[in-house]
Amino acid sequence: MSARSVDNDVEGRGMACDELLSLEALLVSRAYLYTLFHKVFGGEPDERLLKLVAASTTEDVLDEYAEECEVLAKLKGFVSVLGQRLSDGHFIAEIRDEYTRFFQGPADLPALPWESAHIGNERMVFQASTLAVREAYCAQGLRLKLCGRMPDDHVSVMCAFMGILAKRALKAFRTRNYEVFRRLMLAQYSFACQHMTNWLPEYSLHALRVQKAFLYPQFAQGVAAFVEVDEVFCTHAIRWVDDAVSVAEYAEAHYSSERYFGEAEAAMSELSALVLRGIEENELTVIGERSSRERSL
């Protein structure tokens, strides 16, 4: 699945369909990548996650950005090689150890995965910026599952938030509800500007301060680069809506999303359903819903 492959399949379609399909390809890709980053940074990796990371769908999605972003092109190459090493139990153990070093300690973490630790006066969490992130979640009807007990501004949680909004935007686009689509894209643009691109570049640089890199330094580079690219995409999508919403040709364009994106969405559903050890600390829930842990208390 890629915008380029969609563009090459032109039989029986008009220019409006081609444009809509190319845009939808990017909407699917960004929803997939934000979900992937959420899982990679959110919980202890296991073989199932690593197989999804190394799957052809991940390569295809990263290919959407490879021409315009060298870092994401390198990440595509990395995941293609990663799959060849997953039969090595020692290598998987190294990745698990790296996860512990990056997110649990007990030694100092090479890269602090919270926004507030990078932009505050002190390298501490639960600062004013953390509350601003919480308010952004609440504005979209979401909250951290362990709200008040874990920082809201972890990189994994932020990616989960962007992934949820990306899926909502994709749904709005497919139903041609452009008012909702525009509002969601604007919310994502604002969140990326205010709470992601302001610290992820520094986070990605700190992640390189290791002697050996198995997974997380590469993905720290990847998420920082992707959010910068996606911030620009959000502005383009908003402008597209402003220009195209009154054009009747778009309203009359019809095609099968399942035909073009079914495989990618099946992979995204599998990724979304993946439950990793410790990931509940970095998951969002709809306001009013209670987590399984809360119901047991």
Q: What is the pLDDT of residue 15?
A: 78
Q: Given this model, what pLDDT does residue 228 score? A: 98
pLDDT in tens, the chain (297 residues): 555 555 555 444 677 889 999 999 999 999 999 999 999 999 999 999 999 999 999 999 999 999 999 999 999 999 999 999 999 999 999 999 999 999 999 999 999 999 999 997 666 677 888 999 999 999 999 999 998 788 999 999 999 999 999 999 999 999 999 999 999 999 999 999 999 999 999 999 999 999 999 999 999 999 999 999 999 999 999 999 998 766 667 777 788 999 999 999 999 999 999 999 999 999 999 998 654 444 444
Rounded distance between C-alpha atoms, residue 281 and residue 113, angstroms:
13
Best CA proximity match to 187, nearest among 131, 116, 136: 136
Q: What local confidence, expressed as pLDDT, does residue 296 receive?
A: 46
Decide: helix, strand or coil at residue 147. strand
User: What pLDDT shows up at residue 9?
Assistant: 53
Q: What is the pLDDT of residue 13?
A: 63
Tokens 């020692």 -> residue: 90
Distance, CA of 40 to CA of 107 (rounded, Å): 21
Q: φ and ψ at 172, to 5 degrees?
A: -65, -40
Query: Can you list the alpha helix ranges (DSSP code H) found in the chain?
Result: 3-8, 15-42, 47-53, 56-66, 70-82, 89-103, 116-119, 128-139, 155-174, 178-195, 200-206, 216-244, 248-251, 257-273, 292-296
- Separation between Cα atoms, residue 78 and residue 221, nearest integer Å: 12
**Residues 59, 62, 63, 65, Cα dihedral to 10°:** -170
Instruction: Supply 127's token pair.
Output: 């600062």
Q: Which residues of 231-263 are buried (b: 16+ CB within 10 A; e: fewer)?
A: bebbeebbebbeebeeeeebeebebeeeebbee
**Backbone angles phi and psi of 143, in degrees to 5:** -150, 160
The pLDDT score that the predictor gives to residue 212 is 93
Q: Are the C-beta atoms of residues 40 and 215 closer than 8 Å to each other?
A: yes
Q: List, in order, residues 6 or more apart from 103 with CB less than 8 Å away.
A: 41, 109, 113
Is 191 in contact with 136 (CB distance < 8 Å)? yes
139 contacts: CB under 8 Å, gap ≥ 6: 187
Q: For residue 52, give every residue at least 6 positions away whose Cβ sits within 8 Å of its Cβ, in sequence order, or none.
A: 36, 39, 58, 267, 270, 271, 274
**CA neighbor of 207 nearest in space, from 66, 40, 34, 12:** 40
Cβ contact 75:221 at 8 Å: yes
